[in-house]
A and B are shown apart, each in its own frame.
Chain A
Amino acid sequence: MPTITIDGRKIETQPGKTIIEAALENGIAIPHFCWHPALSVAGNCRMCLVRVGSYKKGADGTLERDAEGNPVVQWMPKLQIACATPVADGMVVDTVGEKTIAAQNAVMEFLLINHPLDCPICDEAGQCKLQEYAFKHSRGESRFVEEKVHKPKRVAWSDRIIFDGERCILCSRCIRFANEIAKQPVLTFVERNDHVTIELFEGTTFDSPYSMNVIELCPVGALTSADFRFKSRVWEMSFTPSVCPGCARGCNINIGVRDNQILRLEPRPNPHVNQYWMCDAGRLEQYRWVNSGRISGAAVRRNGALAPASFEEAFRAVADLLSTARGDAMMVLSGSITNEDGFVARECAAAFGIEHVAFVERNDPTFGDDFLRSSDRNANATGLRALGIPSTTWKELLQRMHERMPAVIYFIGADPFAEQDSSSWEELLGSGGAIIAQLSNHSQLEEIADVVLPAATYAEIEGTFTNCDGWVQYLQPAVETAETLRRINGMAQSRLDEFGAPNDRWTHGERRLCRPHWQLLTGVAGAAGHSIAYRSAAEVFAAIEDRVEAFRAMNYEALRQYRGIRLGRGNDPEPVGVVYRSHYMKPQSD
């Protein structure tokens, strides 16, 4: 085990590690642009220059000491880059000394020579590595009086990514990402000297399903998202750690919210699940449906028309339907409801004597790949199975209903019109049997539903998803509903949220009247006199922990701390270690 000394601190590390890795593992940040733990080492930004040496030894092998008795260090004549220098036993590294800082300042000055001063326009401003190091390491003003080099700006690499050649500092992170992670080697450096820029090979576009990860990867604002461009400044948004519900992988994300609208999703590093990445589909699709097309407020059908109703009236109506059905009912769950929702649904079904409870599998073989994307498009199929809820398919359900129509069908999050050929369902569901639609978004199902209950989405609730590998992951609310408040419910707040008054227009973001599935289900059970009394998602999870073996010894605090715990490993969670964050000025609320 080599032992090295970084800034006077003795650090034990493994052979083969580089200085920057050893430092990172011990919480010492060495400034860098091009190095990324998931990519190969390029060593071209030169920002991580450090002074490296070893203790001087006399002819007899003992350490030489100076007048004060401190060991004398024999420094290497030139500085070394920490990202490409492997550690060796007895190595001494200086990351804060005068020479090191002078070298880093010089590198910064070089990088800023041709970097345009368009921070006011650039989306990266506020979370930019270059901006941060400019504060730390630069002289404050440029000594370069000549004209800056002009390069192509606003180049579309695909319909998702826009490249600005002038802002690029040529770290090659995007090129390496395309080659090594996205496996779509279409990017390359062209030209020479200060005219170097990055281009696509003739006739190609960078449209890999993971391509948008280069936007976070880019240390500057050279790569921006066509979808997000200029929607908001970083400091105006609040960021809430969450989990993507797009497929069974459950990539960790940060939800960027302003005005109670989700403006963007970005990957949050989690070595257990998604490393540093997420797919473009998740990033682009999984926030729109939270922002628009939402059901707000309950409704009950009276005289053939849906009329807005209070939650109590709607619960009463559902309870009446389920009680009179006397078990001749069917509960159709979505595979993307939380463990808490599934557990309470099962309890609720037991209370009403409903035997048929199943969640509908959503599979899309065209979506899956061998990296992060899973063909299983249910956010929580593994969790629901672990809770003892069987799965079914829309086809199976259709067949079953054709054989015998139950008196009541209770759709919880599952919407038959969302992806199925709707005509067969229209005919079938319109023919008889009461329908309860507990959904988050408007659907054709409302037209034939007897009761509509507004459900909250993944971004508005506290709960847990279990991903395809059995990692139980914690979700927390990022968007306010009509019944939650940022400052009371401990949600992430931006400055605008914190100080906005009712007469400010930015505080007028829509807040929908909706509740998590489990809470709606307890309401329904309560209206029928069954006591399923949970006051919070944490209480439901405590009941799950108590009654389901696979969830033993888990709690929200531990799930947050370990960034997910595998089913059955509650007593023995796997530590996450030091998680690398590329832009450490980037807002990270966990």
Chain B
Amino acid sequence: MNVTTNTRAQRMTFWEKLYLPEIAKGLALTFKTMFKPKLTRQYPEERWEPLGSYRGRPVLVLEEDGERCVACGLCSRVCPALAIEVQAGETEREKERYPVKFEINMLRCIYCGLCEEVCPEEAIVMSKDYDIVFHSQEEAIFGKDKLLVPIARLQERLEFLRQYK
């Protein structure tokens, strides 16, 4: 017959079996925290601003004369979740290739940042956007209209990349 002889209850001392001191300890912590400064944020009104190292949704860098991306397709190739689809086209600009279509399926994206790491042009970077919502699968596919972000708003991330890449 199996008789358990070493359960937690059997190992407890008299004071532990009483429970009361433990309850008092717990309440002490509660009261102490009540008088500490509050860390809770009133989220939608009060937003958290991440640091440059934060990996939010990937975006495309938009420079004054157009997008940096040359549609080489490396991000699409490296993406472990196959979230990115790129269709290249020809342009008259000096860099003769540009993305006619650039789509990221945000339902597939896992925010790993490999696209940013592989990009030879530093054209796709992880932004600070973390609250991404959509109502349908179609809406979750972000095109160039949603992906292109002016370079001025990405300075912090580009700085971070230059420092640590």
A interface list, Cβ under 8 A from B: 118-121, 125, 153-154, 229-233, 235-236, 495-496, 499-500, 503-506
How far, in angstroms, from A236 to B72 measured CA to CA in the complex?
A: 11
- B96 proximity list for chain A (CB < 8 A): 121, 153-154
Let me know if A120 and B121 touch, CB within 8 A: yes
Q: How far is the CB of A124 from chain B (nearest CB, A)?
A: 12
**In the complex the two chains form, is B82's CB within 8 Å of A233's CB?**
no
Is B85 a contact partner of A119 (Cβ separation < 8 A)?
A: no
B70–A120 contact, CB under 8 A?
A: yes
Interface stretch of the complex, out of B6-14, B49-57, B87-95: B87-95
B141 at interface by CB-CB < 8 Å: yes
Q: Contacts A500-B82, A505-B85; is A233 near B73 (CB within 8 Å)? A: yes
Does any Cβ of A come within 8 Å of B26's Cβ? no
Compute how far the CA of A504 lies from the CA of B83 in the bound complex, rounded to whole angstroms: 8
B85 touches A506 (CB 8 A): yes
Q: Closest Cβ of chain A: how far from B153's Cβ, in Å?
A: 24
In the docked arrangement, what's the CA distance between A120 and B88, Å?
11
Chain B 50-84 interface residues, beta-carbon cutoff 8 Å to A: 70-74, 76-77, 82
| Chain A min CB distance to B92 (Å) | 10
11 further A-B contacts with Cβ under 8 Å, apart from A120-B120, A154-B96, are A120-B74, A121-B70, A121-B97, A153-B96, A233-B73, A236-B76, A496-B82, A500-B82, A503-B137, A504-B105, A505-B103
Known contacts: A121-B70, A505-B141. The answer to whether A230 contacts B82 by CB under 8 A is no
Q: Mark B102-125, 1 if CB is under 8 A from A, else 0.
A: 010101000000000000110000
| A258 closest partner in B (C-beta) | B87
Please name the residue on chain A nearest to B89 by beta carbon: A230
B82 lies within 8 A of A120 (CB): no
The answer to whether B77 touches A233, judged by C-beta atoms less than 8 angstroms apart, is yes
Most chain A beta-carbon neighbours within 10 Å: one of B88, B89, B120: B88
Q: CA of A495 to CA of B79 in the docked complex: distance in angstroms?
A: 12
With contacts A119-B120, A229-B90 taken as known, whether A125 is within 8 angstroms of B72 at the C-beta atoms is yes
Partner of B72, one of A120, A495, A499, A504: A120
The 8 Å CB contact of B88, one of A118, A154, A230, A495, is A230
Main secondary structure of the interface of A (DSSP, over half): loop
Interface contact B95-A499, CB-CB below 8 Å:
no
Report how far A503 CA is from B70 CA in the complex, Å. 26
**Nearest-CB residue, chain A, relative to B141:** A505
A7 to B120, CA, bound (A): 39
Across the interface, name the chain B residue whose C-beta is closest to A499.
B82
What are 10 residue pairs bridging A and B, where the CB atoms are less than 8 Å apart in the complex? A119-B72, A120-B70, A121-B97, A229-B90, A230-B71, A230-B88, A495-B77, A495-B82, A500-B82, A504-B82
Contacts of A235 in B (CB 8 A): 73, 77
The 10 closest A-B pairs by CB, nearest first: A120-B72, A230-B88, A233-B73, A121-B97, A120-B120, A120-B70, A121-B70, A230-B97, A503-B137, A506-B85
Chain A nearest CB: distance from B83 CB in Å?
A: 9
Which of A230, A503, A504, A505 gathers the greatest number of chain B CB atoms within 10 Å?
A230
Chain B residue with minimal CB distance to A230? B88
Provide the residues of chain A in CB contact with B88, threshold 8 Å.
230-233
In the assembly, what is the distance between CA of A15 and CA of B82, in Å? 54
The answer to whether A121 and B103 touch (CB under 8 A), given A230-B89, A499-B82, is: no
Q: For A506, give the chain B residue with the smallest CB separation.
A: B85
User: A505 CA to B82 CA in the complex, in Å?
Assistant: 11
Task: Give A233 to B90 CA distance when docked, in angstroms.
Answer: 14
Chain B positions within 8 Å of A229 at CB level: 90
Provide the bound-state CA to CA distance between A120 and B75, in Å.
11
Select from chain B the residue with minimum beta-carbon distance to A229: B90
Q: How far is the CA of A125 from the CA of B71 in the complex (A)?
A: 13
Give chain B nearest CB distance to A496 CB in angstroms: 7
B85 cross-chain contacts in A, Cβ below 8 A: 504-506
Interface centre among B95, B96, B120, B137 (most CB of A within 10 A): B96
CB distance from A223 to the nearest CB of B (A): 15
Chain A positions within 8 Å of B74 at CB level: 120
Task: Tell me the bound Cα distance from A119 to B72 in angstroms.
Answer: 8
Cβ of B142 to closest chain A Cβ, rounded Å? 12
The answer on a CB contact under 8 Å between A121 and B82 is no
Query: Does B103 contact A230, Cβ atoms closer than 8 Å?
Result: no
In the assembled complex, the CB of A196 is this many whole angstroms from the nearest CB of chain B, namely 23
Roughly how many angstroms separate A514 CA and B75 CA in the complex, as a whole number? 36
Q: Which residue of B lies closest to A496 (CB)?
A: B82
- Considering the chains assembled together, what is the distance between the CA atoms of A154 and B91 in angstroms? 12
Bound-complex Cα distance A361 to B121 (A): 55
Distance of A337 from chain B, by nearest CB (Å): 35
Measured CB to CB, the closest approach of chain B to A511, in angstroms, equals 19
